[in-house]
Amino acid sequence: MSFIRRFIETQTSSSACPERRRFLGYMAGAAALPLIGLPELAEAAAKANSRMLAFKHLHTGESMTVVYKVGHDFVPQSLRRLSYLLRDFRTGDKHHMDTKLYDLLWRLNQDVNSHNPYEIISAYRSPKTNQALRNRNAHSGVAQRSLHLEGAALDVRLADVRLADLRDAALDLKAGGVGYYPESGFIHVDTGRVRRW
């Protein structure tokens, strides 16, 4: 809940719009309830015209629930925290992630009605990591010019959504590339041109 408290502190100002003040009221109430669940937090964010995402990084064990957008405005502190969470976990290198990717994930979550965090398999990849993954196997499927290198791709899954259903919902968005890896248990989403594999 420390993020919610910090968010409230950084967003409180006399120029805050009524929607933002309402949102802060909802989130202040949520901060007082240490056992509040993800669906309730999401409902509070939705009432204030805000967007929230939850993640669990399978390689680092780190978890994060974050309001990344209020109205039409991205929350800078949230973007910084997400950049750290989605870093190349092998090298520690960070990269600015494409904010369209967050909106894509938010829309996808709305469509599949998940109550679980996105489980992250792969996010930003440094050139060194990308090349090492390509060198493992000639048929690795790792692209030389992967959008992971640009912070514009994620490999994810949701524990409460069948992988094929998640893929189909991502394809329906027509918001970028969608890769389906049932043998590895994840889908790839990116903000590049619309395509599938």
- 4 pLDDT above the threshold of 60: no
More confidently predicted of 46 and 174: 174
Place 139 in a pLDDT band, splitting at 50, 70 and 90. low
- 41 pLDDT above the threshold of 70: no
pLDDT tens digit string along 90-110?
A: 999 999 999 999 999 999 999
pLDDT of 49 reads 87
Place 113 in a pLDDT band, splitting at 50, 70 and 90. very high
Place 145 in a pLDDT band, splitting at 50, 70 and 90. confident
Among candidates 107, 105, 87, 104, which has minimal Cα distance to 96? 87
Q: Which residue type does 196 have?
A: R
Residue 64 in tokens: 């994060």
- Report whether 189 contacts 153 (CB < 8 A): yes
Taking residues 48-65, report their average pLDDT: 95
Among candidates 27, 25, 24, which has minimal Cα distance to 42? 27
- Report whether 109 contacts 142 (CB < 8 A): no
pLDDT of 143 reads 73
- Report whether 26 contacts 36 (CB < 8 A): no
pLDDT of 142 reads 74
Taking residues 51-76, report their average pLDDT: 96
Q: DSSP secondary-structure letter at 117?
A: P
Q: How far apart are alpha carbons 52 and 65 in whole angstroms? A: 7
The whole-model pTM stands at: 0.76
Average pLDDT, the chain: 83
Topology of 86-196 in CATH? Muramoyl-pentapeptide Carboxypeptidase; domain 2 (3.30.1380)
Q: How far apart are alpha carbons 10 and 67 in whole angstroms? A: 13
Domain ranges of the chain: 86-196
More confidently predicted of 41 and 54: 54
